[in-house]
Amino acid sequence: MSSHNSYKRQTKRFISSKKLRVSVIGLGFVGLSIALVNSKKGFTTIGVDVNKEKIRNLKKGIPDFFEPGIENYLDYCLKSNLIKFTTNLEETLFNTDLTFVCVGTPPKNDGTIDLKYIKNAICDIHKILKSKKKYHLLIIKSTVFPQTTKDVVLPVFSDLLKKGLVDVVMNPEFLREGYAIKDILEPHLIVIGGNSKHGGQILEKYYRNFYGKLPEIIHCDPTTAELIKYANNAFLATKISFINSIANICQNLPGVDVNVISKAIGKDRRIGPLFLNAGPGFGGSCLPKDLSALINFSKRYDNTDMLFSAVEKVNKTQPIKVLNLIKKINLLKPSKTISVLGLAFKKDTDDIRAATSIEIVKKLIKNKLIVKVHDPKAMDNFKKIFGNKIIYCQTVDECIKNSDCCLILTEWDSYKKLSPQKFKKLMKKPNIIDARRILDPKKFSKLNLQAIGLGN
Protein backbone atom coordinates (compact mmCIF):
# COMPACT_ATOMS: atom_id res chain seq x y z
CA MET A 1 0.00 0.00 0.00
CA SER A 2 2.83 2.40 0.84
CA SER A 3 4.38 1.63 -2.56
CA HIS A 4 1.09 2.46 -4.31
CA ASN A 5 0.80 5.71 -2.35
CA SER A 6 4.30 6.70 -3.46
CA TYR A 7 3.24 6.19 -7.08
CA LYS A 8 0.16 8.37 -6.47
CA ARG A 9 2.38 11.12 -5.04
CA GLN A 10 4.68 10.74 -8.04
CA THR A 11 1.82 11.18 -10.52
CA LYS A 12 0.46 14.19 -8.62
CA ARG A 13 3.84 15.85 -9.09
CA PHE A 14 3.67 14.70 -12.73
CA ILE A 15 0.36 16.54 -13.19
CA SER A 16 1.61 19.72 -11.55
CA SER A 17 4.86 19.86 -13.54
CA LYS A 18 4.98 22.80 -15.94
CA LYS A 19 5.83 21.11 -19.25
CA LEU A 20 5.56 17.44 -20.02
CA ARG A 21 8.20 15.88 -22.25
CA VAL A 22 6.66 14.34 -25.34
CA SER A 23 7.58 11.36 -27.52
CA VAL A 24 5.87 10.25 -30.71
CA ILE A 25 6.14 6.69 -32.02
CA GLY A 26 5.49 6.35 -35.76
CA LEU A 27 6.39 9.32 -37.95
CA GLY A 28 3.88 9.08 -40.75
CA PHE A 29 1.40 11.82 -41.64
CA VAL A 30 -0.16 11.96 -38.16
CA GLY A 31 2.93 11.28 -36.04
CA LEU A 32 5.29 13.71 -37.73
CA SER A 33 2.68 16.47 -37.72
CA ILE A 34 2.07 16.00 -33.99
CA ALA A 35 5.79 15.83 -33.19
CA LEU A 36 6.65 19.01 -35.09
CA VAL A 37 3.79 21.09 -33.71
CA ASN A 38 4.65 19.95 -30.17
CA SER A 39 8.29 20.87 -30.58
CA LYS A 40 7.45 24.29 -32.03
CA LYS A 41 5.09 24.84 -29.09
CA GLY A 42 8.08 24.45 -26.77
CA PHE A 43 7.64 20.88 -25.57
CA THR A 44 10.75 18.72 -25.42
CA THR A 45 9.92 16.30 -28.23
CA ILE A 46 11.47 13.08 -29.54
CA GLY A 47 10.20 11.38 -32.69
CA VAL A 48 10.77 7.63 -33.07
CA ASP A 49 10.44 5.36 -36.08
CA VAL A 50 11.82 1.93 -36.97
CA ASN A 51 12.60 3.11 -40.51
CA LYS A 52 16.26 4.13 -40.39
CA GLU A 53 16.20 5.82 -43.79
CA LYS A 54 13.22 7.93 -42.73
CA ILE A 55 15.05 9.04 -39.59
CA ARG A 56 18.19 9.92 -41.58
CA ASN A 57 16.13 12.01 -43.99
CA LEU A 58 14.20 13.77 -41.24
CA LYS A 59 17.48 14.77 -39.61
CA LYS A 60 18.38 16.37 -42.96
CA GLY A 61 15.03 18.14 -43.11
CA ILE A 62 13.47 15.83 -45.72
CA PRO A 63 9.97 14.44 -44.95
CA ASP A 64 8.81 11.43 -46.98
CA PHE A 65 5.41 12.93 -47.87
CA PHE A 66 4.01 16.29 -48.90
CA GLU A 67 1.87 18.25 -46.46
CA PRO A 68 1.55 22.06 -46.51
CA GLY A 69 3.71 23.63 -43.80
CA ILE A 70 5.50 20.43 -42.78
CA GLU A 71 8.84 21.29 -44.43
CA ASN A 72 8.86 24.78 -42.87
CA TYR A 73 8.07 23.38 -39.42
CA LEU A 74 10.72 20.69 -39.81
CA ASP A 75 13.34 23.19 -40.93
CA TYR A 76 12.55 25.56 -38.05
CA CYS A 77 12.56 22.82 -35.38
CA LEU A 78 15.84 21.34 -36.61
CA LYS A 79 17.63 24.69 -36.80
CA SER A 80 16.35 25.61 -33.34
CA ASN A 81 17.30 22.20 -31.87
CA LEU A 82 13.71 21.77 -30.69
CA ILE A 83 13.26 18.17 -31.83
CA LYS A 84 15.19 14.92 -31.91
CA PHE A 85 14.64 11.98 -34.27
CA THR A 86 15.83 8.51 -33.38
CA THR A 87 15.25 4.77 -33.74
CA ASN A 88 16.17 4.24 -30.07
CA LEU A 89 12.88 3.59 -28.28
CA GLU A 90 14.42 2.84 -24.88
CA GLU A 91 16.30 6.13 -24.67
CA THR A 92 13.18 7.93 -25.85
CA LEU A 93 10.83 6.49 -23.22
CA PHE A 94 13.32 7.05 -20.41
CA ASN A 95 13.59 10.73 -21.35
CA THR A 96 9.93 11.59 -21.88
CA ASP A 97 6.76 11.67 -19.77
CA LEU A 98 4.03 10.91 -22.27
CA THR A 99 4.01 9.05 -25.57
CA PHE A 100 1.73 9.36 -28.58
CA VAL A 101 1.47 6.02 -30.40
CA CYS A 102 0.87 6.84 -34.08
CA VAL A 103 1.91 3.64 -35.83
CA GLY A 104 0.00 2.55 -38.92
CA THR A 105 -2.99 0.21 -38.95
CA PRO A 106 -3.12 -0.69 -42.66
CA PRO A 107 -6.07 -2.52 -44.21
CA LYS A 108 -6.03 -6.24 -44.89
CA ASN A 109 -7.56 -7.80 -48.00
CA ASP A 110 -10.69 -8.79 -46.05
CA GLY A 111 -11.39 -5.21 -44.97
CA THR A 112 -10.17 -5.58 -41.38
CA ILE A 113 -7.20 -3.58 -40.13
CA ASP A 114 -3.79 -5.05 -39.39
CA LEU A 115 -2.86 -4.57 -35.74
CA LYS A 116 0.63 -6.08 -35.99
CA TYR A 117 2.42 -2.71 -35.82
CA ILE A 118 0.55 -1.51 -32.77
CA LYS A 119 0.95 -4.91 -31.08
CA ASN A 120 4.69 -4.82 -31.69
CA ALA A 121 4.91 -1.23 -30.45
CA ILE A 122 3.03 -1.79 -27.20
CA CYS A 123 5.02 -4.94 -26.39
CA ASP A 124 8.28 -3.05 -26.90
CA ILE A 125 6.98 -0.12 -24.83
CA HIS A 126 5.92 -2.43 -22.01
CA LYS A 127 9.35 -4.07 -21.75
CA ILE A 128 11.03 -0.68 -21.46
CA LEU A 129 8.54 0.89 -19.03
CA LYS A 130 8.89 -2.12 -16.70
CA SER A 131 12.51 -1.14 -16.15
CA LYS A 132 11.85 2.61 -16.13
CA LYS A 133 9.85 2.38 -12.88
CA LYS A 134 8.48 5.90 -13.27
CA TYR A 135 4.99 6.95 -14.24
CA HIS A 136 4.35 7.22 -17.99
CA LEU A 137 1.24 8.22 -19.93
CA LEU A 138 0.55 6.24 -23.10
CA ILE A 139 -1.74 7.89 -25.66
CA ILE A 140 -3.10 5.80 -28.53
CA LYS A 141 -3.56 7.93 -31.65
CA SER A 142 -3.61 5.04 -34.14
CA THR A 143 -7.07 4.30 -35.53
CA VAL A 144 -8.17 0.92 -34.14
CA PHE A 145 -11.56 -0.78 -34.15
CA PRO A 146 -13.71 -0.70 -30.98
CA GLN A 147 -12.45 -2.65 -27.96
CA THR A 148 -8.85 -2.83 -29.23
CA THR A 149 -7.56 -0.73 -26.33
CA LYS A 150 -9.58 -2.81 -23.85
CA ASP A 151 -8.75 -6.24 -25.29
CA VAL A 152 -5.32 -5.77 -26.87
CA VAL A 153 -3.49 -2.83 -25.27
CA LEU A 154 -4.56 -2.78 -21.60
CA PRO A 155 -3.85 -6.49 -20.92
CA VAL A 156 -0.20 -5.99 -21.95
CA PHE A 157 0.20 -3.28 -19.28
CA SER A 158 -1.86 -4.98 -16.54
CA ASP A 159 1.12 -5.23 -14.16
CA LEU A 160 2.10 -1.59 -14.58
CA LEU A 161 -1.53 -0.44 -14.38
CA LYS A 162 -1.93 -2.17 -11.01
CA LYS A 163 1.15 -0.38 -9.69
CA GLY A 164 -0.03 2.98 -11.00
CA LEU A 165 3.03 3.31 -13.24
CA VAL A 166 1.10 3.62 -16.49
CA ASP A 167 -2.17 5.00 -17.78
CA VAL A 168 -3.49 4.34 -21.28
CA VAL A 169 -5.68 6.86 -23.10
CA MET A 170 -7.37 6.49 -26.48
CA ASN A 171 -7.17 9.97 -28.03
CA PRO A 172 -8.36 9.78 -31.68
CA GLU A 173 -7.14 12.30 -34.23
CA PHE A 174 -9.33 14.09 -36.77
CA LEU A 175 -6.61 15.48 -39.04
CA ARG A 176 -7.34 16.23 -42.68
CA GLU A 177 -4.55 15.73 -45.20
CA GLY A 178 -3.65 19.18 -46.48
CA TYR A 179 -4.70 20.80 -43.19
CA ALA A 180 -2.85 18.76 -40.55
CA ILE A 181 -1.08 21.62 -38.79
CA LYS A 182 -4.19 23.79 -38.78
CA ASP A 183 -6.29 20.93 -37.40
CA ILE A 184 -3.80 20.29 -34.58
CA LEU A 185 -3.69 23.96 -33.65
CA GLU A 186 -7.45 24.53 -34.04
CA PRO A 187 -9.26 21.27 -33.21
CA HIS A 188 -13.04 21.20 -33.30
CA LEU A 189 -13.00 18.73 -30.39
CA ILE A 190 -10.68 16.64 -28.23
CA VAL A 191 -11.82 13.14 -27.27
CA ILE A 192 -10.15 11.55 -24.24
CA GLY A 193 -10.96 7.90 -23.68
CA GLY A 194 -9.10 7.01 -20.51
CA ASN A 195 -8.73 3.69 -18.74
CA SER A 196 -8.86 5.78 -15.55
CA LYS A 197 -9.96 9.25 -14.53
CA HIS A 198 -6.37 9.89 -13.58
CA GLY A 199 -4.92 9.34 -17.06
CA GLY A 200 -7.58 11.59 -18.58
CA GLN A 201 -6.71 14.36 -16.12
CA ILE A 202 -3.04 14.23 -17.06
CA LEU A 203 -3.78 14.37 -20.77
CA GLU A 204 -6.15 17.29 -20.19
CA LYS A 205 -3.39 19.05 -18.27
CA TYR A 206 -1.06 18.55 -21.23
CA TYR A 207 -3.66 20.03 -23.59
CA ARG A 208 -4.20 22.95 -21.23
CA ASN A 209 -0.47 23.73 -21.48
CA PHE A 210 -0.54 23.19 -25.23
CA TYR A 211 -3.51 25.43 -26.04
CA GLY A 212 -3.73 27.91 -23.18
CA LYS A 213 -7.47 28.22 -23.76
CA LEU A 214 -8.71 24.64 -23.69
CA PRO A 215 -10.79 23.41 -26.67
CA GLU A 216 -13.98 21.47 -26.00
CA ILE A 217 -13.20 18.06 -24.48
CA ILE A 218 -15.29 14.92 -24.24
CA HIS A 219 -14.19 12.40 -21.60
CA CYS A 220 -15.32 8.81 -22.14
CA ASP A 221 -14.08 5.23 -22.00
CA PRO A 222 -11.57 3.96 -24.61
CA THR A 223 -14.11 1.93 -26.61
CA THR A 224 -16.42 4.92 -27.01
CA ALA A 225 -13.44 7.02 -28.15
CA GLU A 226 -12.51 4.37 -30.73
CA LEU A 227 -16.05 4.27 -32.12
CA ILE A 228 -16.28 8.09 -32.23
CA LYS A 229 -13.43 8.09 -34.77
CA TYR A 230 -15.11 5.47 -36.95
CA ALA A 231 -18.52 7.13 -36.68
CA ASN A 232 -16.99 10.47 -37.66
CA ASN A 233 -15.35 9.12 -40.82
CA ALA A 234 -18.31 6.92 -41.74
CA PHE A 235 -20.62 9.94 -41.64
CA LEU A 236 -18.30 11.97 -43.87
CA ALA A 237 -18.13 9.06 -46.31
CA THR A 238 -21.93 8.83 -46.23
CA LYS A 239 -22.31 12.49 -47.17
CA ILE A 240 -20.00 12.04 -50.15
CA SER A 241 -21.74 8.91 -51.41
CA PHE A 242 -25.11 10.59 -50.86
CA ILE A 243 -24.31 13.60 -53.03
CA ASN A 244 -22.70 11.34 -55.64
CA SER A 245 -25.93 9.34 -55.76
CA ILE A 246 -27.85 12.58 -56.32
CA ALA A 247 -25.29 13.57 -58.99
CA ASN A 248 -25.90 10.30 -60.80
CA ILE A 249 -29.59 11.16 -61.00
CA CYS A 250 -28.76 14.68 -62.23
CA GLN A 251 -26.68 13.12 -64.99
CA ASN A 252 -29.89 11.93 -66.63
CA LEU A 253 -31.92 15.13 -66.31
CA PRO A 254 -31.13 17.82 -68.93
CA GLY A 255 -30.34 21.19 -67.40
CA VAL A 256 -30.02 19.89 -63.82
CA ASP A 257 -26.78 20.75 -62.00
CA VAL A 258 -25.85 18.92 -58.79
CA ASN A 259 -23.81 21.95 -57.67
CA VAL A 260 -27.00 23.99 -57.37
CA ILE A 261 -28.62 21.18 -55.38
CA SER A 262 -25.57 20.88 -53.09
CA LYS A 263 -25.59 24.60 -52.42
CA ALA A 264 -29.30 24.59 -51.65
CA ILE A 265 -29.36 21.66 -49.24
CA GLY A 266 -26.10 22.81 -47.64
CA LYS A 267 -27.89 25.95 -46.45
CA ASP A 268 -29.98 23.77 -44.17
CA ARG A 269 -28.17 23.89 -40.83
CA ARG A 270 -29.19 20.30 -40.15
CA ILE A 271 -27.17 19.26 -43.22
CA GLY A 272 -24.37 21.81 -43.72
CA PRO A 273 -22.31 22.41 -46.88
CA LEU A 274 -19.16 20.40 -46.14
CA PHE A 275 -18.50 17.11 -47.97
CA LEU A 276 -21.33 17.75 -50.44
CA ASN A 277 -19.07 18.06 -53.48
CA ALA A 278 -19.97 15.53 -56.14
CA GLY A 279 -17.02 13.76 -57.75
CA PRO A 280 -15.41 10.48 -58.75
CA GLY A 281 -15.55 9.11 -55.20
CA PHE A 282 -13.54 9.43 -51.99
CA GLY A 283 -10.06 8.00 -51.47
CA GLY A 284 -7.07 8.51 -49.21
CA SER A 285 -5.71 6.70 -46.19
CA CYS A 286 -8.71 7.18 -43.87
CA LEU A 287 -12.24 7.11 -45.25
CA PRO A 288 -12.05 3.94 -47.41
CA LYS A 289 -10.03 2.04 -44.80
CA ASP A 290 -12.14 3.12 -41.83
CA LEU A 291 -15.42 2.50 -43.62
CA SER A 292 -14.30 -0.99 -44.64
CA ALA A 293 -13.14 -1.77 -41.10
CA LEU A 294 -16.45 -0.54 -39.63
CA ILE A 295 -18.40 -2.71 -42.11
CA ASN A 296 -16.33 -5.72 -41.10
CA PHE A 297 -16.77 -4.95 -37.38
CA SER A 298 -20.52 -4.33 -37.80
CA LYS A 299 -21.06 -7.77 -39.32
CA ARG A 300 -20.65 -9.20 -35.83
CA TYR A 301 -24.07 -7.73 -35.03
CA ASP A 302 -27.22 -8.43 -37.07
CA ASN A 303 -27.97 -5.96 -39.89
CA THR A 304 -25.81 -3.12 -38.55
CA ASP A 305 -23.62 -2.91 -41.66
CA MET A 306 -26.34 -2.28 -44.26
CA LEU A 307 -25.96 1.50 -44.59
CA PHE A 308 -22.16 1.39 -44.50
CA SER A 309 -22.07 -1.31 -47.18
CA ALA A 310 -24.29 0.83 -49.42
CA VAL A 311 -22.03 3.85 -48.92
CA GLU A 312 -19.02 1.75 -49.90
CA LYS A 313 -20.79 0.29 -52.94
CA VAL A 314 -21.66 3.76 -54.26
CA ASN A 315 -18.04 4.84 -53.85
CA LYS A 316 -16.60 1.80 -55.59
CA THR A 317 -18.88 2.26 -58.60
CA GLN A 318 -18.38 6.03 -58.92
CA PRO A 319 -15.19 5.83 -61.07
CA ILE A 320 -17.24 3.88 -63.63
CA LYS A 321 -19.39 7.00 -64.08
CA VAL A 322 -16.29 8.83 -65.34
CA LEU A 323 -15.54 6.08 -67.83
CA ASN A 324 -19.17 6.15 -68.98
CA LEU A 325 -18.78 9.85 -69.79
CA ILE A 326 -15.76 9.01 -71.99
CA LYS A 327 -17.80 6.27 -73.64
CA LYS A 328 -20.70 8.66 -74.14
CA ILE A 329 -18.56 10.91 -76.34
CA ASN A 330 -17.28 7.85 -78.23
CA LEU A 331 -13.65 8.09 -77.06
CA LEU A 332 -13.21 4.90 -75.04
CA LYS A 333 -11.31 3.39 -77.96
CA PRO A 334 -7.79 2.02 -78.53
CA SER A 335 -5.13 4.57 -79.47
CA LYS A 336 -7.19 7.55 -78.32
CA THR A 337 -5.15 9.88 -76.09
CA ILE A 338 -6.58 10.73 -72.67
CA SER A 339 -5.04 13.43 -70.47
CA VAL A 340 -5.51 13.08 -66.72
CA LEU A 341 -5.11 16.20 -64.59
CA GLY A 342 -4.83 15.24 -60.93
CA LEU A 343 -3.67 11.96 -59.41
CA ALA A 344 -3.74 12.62 -55.65
CA PHE A 345 -6.97 11.66 -53.91
CA LYS A 346 -7.46 15.35 -53.03
CA LYS A 347 -5.58 18.61 -53.45
CA ASP A 348 -2.66 19.67 -51.22
CA THR A 349 -1.30 16.16 -50.75
CA ASP A 350 0.79 13.64 -52.65
CA ASP A 351 -1.24 10.75 -51.23
CA ILE A 352 -2.68 8.40 -53.86
CA ARG A 353 -3.84 5.67 -51.48
CA ALA A 354 -7.27 4.47 -52.67
CA ALA A 355 -7.34 7.39 -55.14
CA THR A 356 -9.96 7.04 -57.87
CA SER A 357 -7.29 8.01 -60.39
CA ILE A 358 -5.68 4.58 -59.96
CA GLU A 359 -8.80 2.63 -60.92
CA ILE A 360 -9.62 4.95 -63.80
CA VAL A 361 -6.10 4.81 -65.28
CA LYS A 362 -6.04 1.01 -64.93
CA LYS A 363 -9.24 0.78 -66.97
CA LEU A 364 -7.96 3.23 -69.58
CA ILE A 365 -4.83 1.11 -70.02
CA LYS A 366 -6.93 -2.05 -70.21
CA ASN A 367 -8.91 -0.43 -73.05
CA LYS A 368 -5.59 0.31 -74.82
CA LEU A 369 -5.84 4.09 -74.65
CA ILE A 370 -2.75 6.31 -74.49
CA VAL A 371 -2.68 7.94 -71.05
CA LYS A 372 -0.86 11.16 -70.19
CA VAL A 373 -0.91 12.38 -66.58
CA HIS A 374 -0.04 15.46 -64.55
CA ASP A 375 -0.15 16.28 -60.84
CA PRO A 376 1.76 18.98 -58.93
CA LYS A 377 2.84 16.57 -56.16
CA ALA A 378 1.76 12.95 -56.69
CA MET A 379 3.52 11.81 -59.88
CA ASP A 380 6.44 10.06 -58.15
CA ASN A 381 3.97 7.96 -56.14
CA PHE A 382 2.01 7.18 -59.30
CA LYS A 383 5.17 5.98 -61.04
CA LYS A 384 5.58 3.32 -58.34
CA ILE A 385 2.33 1.75 -59.54
CA PHE A 386 2.30 2.33 -63.29
CA GLY A 387 5.97 2.60 -64.25
CA ASN A 388 6.35 3.19 -68.00
CA LYS A 389 2.78 2.18 -68.91
CA ILE A 390 1.72 5.85 -69.06
CA ILE A 391 3.26 9.22 -69.96
CA TYR A 392 4.20 11.61 -67.15
CA CYS A 393 4.05 15.32 -67.98
CA GLN A 394 5.74 18.12 -66.08
CA THR A 395 3.24 20.78 -67.17
CA VAL A 396 -0.46 20.99 -67.87
CA ASP A 397 0.24 22.20 -71.41
CA GLU A 398 2.38 19.15 -72.14
CA CYS A 399 -0.30 16.89 -70.70
CA ILE A 400 -3.28 18.15 -72.70
CA LYS A 401 -1.42 18.80 -75.97
CA ASN A 402 -2.84 16.74 -78.85
CA SER A 403 -5.13 14.75 -76.56
CA ASP A 404 -8.64 13.62 -77.47
CA CYS A 405 -10.09 14.06 -74.01
CA CYS A 406 -9.03 15.59 -70.67
CA LEU A 407 -10.13 14.22 -67.29
CA ILE A 408 -9.89 16.43 -64.19
CA LEU A 409 -9.68 14.11 -61.18
CA THR A 410 -8.18 16.33 -58.45
CA GLU A 411 -9.35 19.80 -57.47
CA TRP A 412 -5.93 21.51 -57.44
CA ASP A 413 -6.26 25.30 -57.35
CA SER A 414 -4.02 25.65 -60.40
CA TYR A 415 -6.49 23.60 -62.47
CA LYS A 416 -9.37 25.87 -61.44
CA LYS A 417 -7.65 28.76 -63.22
CA LEU A 418 -7.38 27.01 -66.58
CA SER A 419 -9.05 28.90 -69.44
CA PRO A 420 -11.25 27.50 -72.24
CA GLN A 421 -8.76 28.97 -74.73
CA LYS A 422 -5.93 26.77 -73.43
CA PHE A 423 -7.89 23.56 -73.99
CA LYS A 424 -9.12 24.75 -77.39
CA LYS A 425 -5.62 25.69 -78.53
CA LEU A 426 -3.73 22.60 -77.36
CA MET A 427 -6.12 19.64 -77.63
CA LYS A 428 -7.09 17.81 -80.81
CA LYS A 429 -10.67 18.44 -79.80
CA PRO A 430 -11.58 20.19 -76.53
CA ASN A 431 -13.45 17.31 -74.87
CA ILE A 432 -13.26 17.87 -71.09
CA ILE A 433 -14.66 15.68 -68.32
CA ASP A 434 -14.64 17.64 -65.08
CA ALA A 435 -15.07 14.94 -62.47
CA ARG A 436 -14.40 17.43 -59.66
CA ARG A 437 -16.78 20.18 -60.81
CA ILE A 438 -14.11 22.91 -60.60
CA LEU A 439 -14.75 24.55 -64.01
CA ASP A 440 -17.59 26.99 -64.67
CA PRO A 441 -19.99 25.37 -67.19
CA LYS A 442 -21.01 28.81 -68.48
CA LYS A 443 -17.42 29.81 -69.32
CA PHE A 444 -16.83 26.46 -71.02
CA SER A 445 -20.17 26.32 -72.82
CA LYS A 446 -18.57 26.49 -76.28
CA LEU A 447 -16.42 23.46 -75.53
CA ASN A 448 -17.60 19.91 -75.01
CA LEU A 449 -17.60 20.01 -71.21
CA GLN A 450 -18.98 16.93 -69.48
CA ALA A 451 -19.12 16.89 -65.69
CA ILE A 452 -20.24 14.68 -62.83
CA GLY A 453 -23.81 15.63 -61.97
CA LEU A 454 -24.32 17.98 -64.91
CA GLY A 455 -27.25 16.94 -67.06
CA ASN A 456 -26.32 18.11 -70.54
Level-2 CATH architecture, domain 2-220: 3-Layer(aba) Sandwich (3.40)
Going by the DSSP 8-state scheme, the letter that residue 257 receives in this structure is: B
Which is it for strands 337-341 and 136-140: parallel, antiparallel or unpaired?
Answer: unpaired
Residue 312: per-residue pLDDT:
97
Measured CA to CA, the distance from residue 133 to residue 101 in angstroms comes to 20
Going by the DSSP 8-state scheme, the letter that residue 214 receives in this structure is: P
DSSP string, 98-141: EEEE----PBPTTSPBP-HHHHHHHHHHHHHHHHH-S-EEEEE-
Residue 43: per-residue pLDDT:
95
Low-confidence ranges of the chain (pLDDT < 70): 1-18
Kindly list the domain boundaries of the chain, sorted by start residue: 2-220, 231-451
Q: Catalogue the active-site residues.
A: 286
Residue 1: per-residue pLDDT:
44
Residue 456: per-residue pLDDT:
77
Same fold, 2-220 and 231-451: yes
CATH class assigned to 231-451? alpha beta
Residue 16: per-residue pLDDT:
54
Distance of alpha carbon 381 from its chain centroid, rounded?
A: 16
Distance of alpha carbon 154 from its chain centroid, rounded?
A: 26
